[in-house]
């Protein structure tokens, strides 16, 4: 745990080493992004979503899906290459391969928390009505990151043997992003497509965020359970692969 925290700190100090503003970029970057989404999209362009009165509706819809997605995508893509990226450490010091990637989850969570804080400030500033359902927010996020960690862990093991996986994950995440209702709403999809979307795991958590932020309703228990089950399943698969392949992973690095 000590090491995870230190690796997380290290992650940030590496990211901002040499920059004068340093950690304040964690606030500045989301500030600009959220400004664009909320002010430009909602206020200036006037994008609206059906069923929501507030003029901020679309901006909130967009940001409440986008911020978690960015955390999710970064977590998955960074964990998926972690063993190869950190081979200079892994091949020299005895580390538990299973817990080593945890620092990525932690680091991305810190970034996410900062972004959410900014988001909250914007919402309060514009007097957006916050739903009581927001208590679900941390739960959804936790389940999302469990899923992200497990998926990344499985990919990371394969990545040791199949280096193309890095490119594949990049493409996959981009495709996945557009196949998930983040910038558009689920309702605009043609009927024949909606069936397939139910198989999209990212939809499970994105939908839940939309529920608690925009639609003032509780996330569906089924979705959360499904997400939890998927996360556990992948984690189990990852641990099984690790058990079978740890020797080979270490040999290959």
Partner 1 sequence: MIAVDALSKHFKLYESPADRLKEIIFRRSFHQSKLALDGISFKVEDGQTLGIIGQNGAGKSTLLKILNGVLLPDCGTINVDGRVAGLLELGTGFNLELSGLNNIYMNGLLLGMDREEIDAKLDSILDFSELRAVIPHPLKTYSSGMVMRLAFSIAMHSEPECFLIDEALSVGDAHFQQKCIRRIKQHKKNGGAIIFVSHDMNAIKILCDKVILLDQGKVIVSGSPEDAVNHYNYLISTLNDDGEAVVRDEGLAHSFGGFSARINKVAVVGKISGTDSISCGEAAEIQVLMEANTVIENINVGILIRNNFGQDIYGTAIWKHKERVDVDSGESWLFSFTMNMNLGVGKYTVSVALSSGDTHLDGCLEWRDHAVSFQILASSGDEFVGMCMLEPLIHARKIEI
How far is residue 134 from each of residues 92, 119, 157, measured CA to CA in Å?
A: 45, 13, 35
At 116 the three-state DSSP class reads helix
Q: Which of residues 94-113 bind partner 1 (CB under 8 A)?
A: 94-95
- Note whether 243 binds partner 1 by CB under 8 A: no
Q: Least distance from C-beta 83 to partner 1, angstroms? A: 12
- Note whether 158 binds partner 1 by CB under 8 A: yes
Residue from 6, 120, 187, 220 in contact with partner 1 (CB under 8 A):
6
The residue count for binding partner 1 (CB under 8 A) is 28
Residues 6+ apart with CB under 8 A from 124: none
> Which is nearer to partner 1, 187 or 251 (by Cβ)?
251
> Which is nearer to partner 1, 230 or 245 (by Cβ)?
245
- Note whether 20 binds partner 1 by CB under 8 A: no
- Tell me how far apart the alpha carbons of residues 108 and 99 are, in angstroms, rounded to a whole number: 16
Residue from 93, 129, 190, 222 in contact with partner 1 (CB under 8 A):
93
How far is residue 147 from each of residues 102, 173, 200, 201, measured CA to CA in Å?
A: 12, 14, 13, 9
Do residues 189 and 197 make contact, with C-beta atoms less than 8 angstroms apart?
yes
Task: Give the other-Cβ count within 10 Å of 88's Cβ.
Answer: 9
Part of the chain binding partner 1 (CB under 8 A), chosen from 40-48, 89-97, 200-208, 216-224: 89-97
Q: Least distance from C-beta 8 to partner 1, angstroms? A: 11
Do residues 68 and 230 make contact, with C-beta atoms less than 8 angstroms apart?
no
Residues that bind partner 1 (CB under 8 A): 2-3, 6, 10, 13-14, 17-18, 88-95, 158, 160-163, 245-248, 250-252
């Amino acid at each position: 745990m000590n090491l995870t925290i230190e690796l997380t700190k290290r992650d940030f100090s590496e990211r901002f080493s040499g920059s004068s503003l340093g950690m304040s970029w964690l606030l500045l970057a989301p500030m600009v992004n959220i400004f664009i989404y909320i002010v430009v999209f909602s206020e200036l362009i006037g994008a609206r979503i059906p069923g929501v009165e507030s003029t901020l509706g679309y901006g909130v819809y967009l940001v409440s899906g986008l911020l978690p997605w960015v955390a999710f995508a970064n977590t998955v893509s960074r964990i998926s290459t972690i063993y190869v990226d950190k081979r200079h450490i892994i091949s020299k010091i005895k580390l538990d391969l299973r817990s080593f990637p945890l620092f990525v989850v932690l680091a991305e969570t810190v970034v996410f928390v900062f972004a959410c804080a900014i988001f909250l400030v914007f919402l309060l500033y514009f007097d957006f009505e916050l739903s009581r359902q927001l208590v679900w927010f941390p739960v959804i996020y936790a389940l999302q990151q469990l899923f992200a960690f497990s998926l990344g862990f499985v990919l990371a093991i394969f990545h040791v043997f199949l280096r193309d996986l890095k490119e594949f994950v990049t493409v996959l995440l981009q495709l996945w992003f557009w196949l998930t209702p983040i910038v558009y709403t689920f309702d605009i999809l043609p009927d024949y497509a909606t069936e397939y979307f139910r198989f999209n795991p990212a939809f499970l958590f994105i939908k839940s965020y939309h529920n608690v932020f925009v639609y003032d309703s509780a996330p569906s228990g089924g979705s959360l359970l499904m997400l939890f089950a998927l996360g556990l399943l992948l984690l189990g698969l990852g641990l099984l692969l690790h058990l079978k392949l740890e020797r080979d992973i270490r040999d290959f690095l």
